[in-house]
Amino acid sequence: MVRRHFLRLLWVTGLVLLINWVHVIPALALGGPQPSLNQPAPDFTLPTNTGDGSISLSDYRGQWVVLYFYPKDFTPGCTLEAKRFQQDFPKYQQRNAQILGVSVDDVDSHREFCDSEGLRFPLLADTDGTVSKAYGSWLGYMSLRHTYLIDPEGLLRKVFLGVQPAIHSTEVLASLDEFQKSAITQ
């Protein structure tokens, strides 16, 4: 009885410390330090399965960018998330937004994944994790499921951590609508 009480007290104390730690260091998440909101998003150039073979963030100045990191092509959660983004792709285009997916998979894997799932937006090959690290989305050997909403001037406006693949595209669209509405009223 005493041991169970002690273990419960230890667990609660650890939970309280973790909660307090998260509030003290809000820019740190699983994967590393997050880039600062309302500051320029880290620029990059990565190989892709589409177009001329590489894409830079700066290629999309003047458009909103949904930069989403995911662990691996052809896995259930990643496939579901990609299909939802593809399903909503026309809505993003209507809002002057481009979707860019990033994982450690190579260009050939991305090409096969896009062909298999009917994806019409670029997937970028961050095979060494450099860009994932710059965005705080790196877990040793793979990208984490994080999304970054970047405005037409290249400023990071919103970070999505703890993404749920089935509803994530809807969440991103809602945030994009909020930002675009607030820009109109200013």
Is 114 marked active-site?
Answer: no
C-alpha span between 83 and 113 (Å, rounded):
11
- Concatenating the DSSP letter of every residue in the chain gives -HHHHHHHHHHHHHHHHHHHHHHH-TTEETTEEPPPTTSBPPP-EEEBSSTTSEEEGGGGTTSEEEEEE-S-TT-HHHHHHHHHHHHTHHHHHHTTEEEEEEESS-HHHHHHHHHHHT--S-EEE-TT-HHHHHTT-B-SSSB-S-EEEE-TTSBEEEEE-S--TTTHHHHHHHHHHHHHHHHHH-
Name the active-site residue from 41, 55, 78, 102.
78
Token readout for 131 is 């860009």
Q: Which residues are catalytic?
A: 78
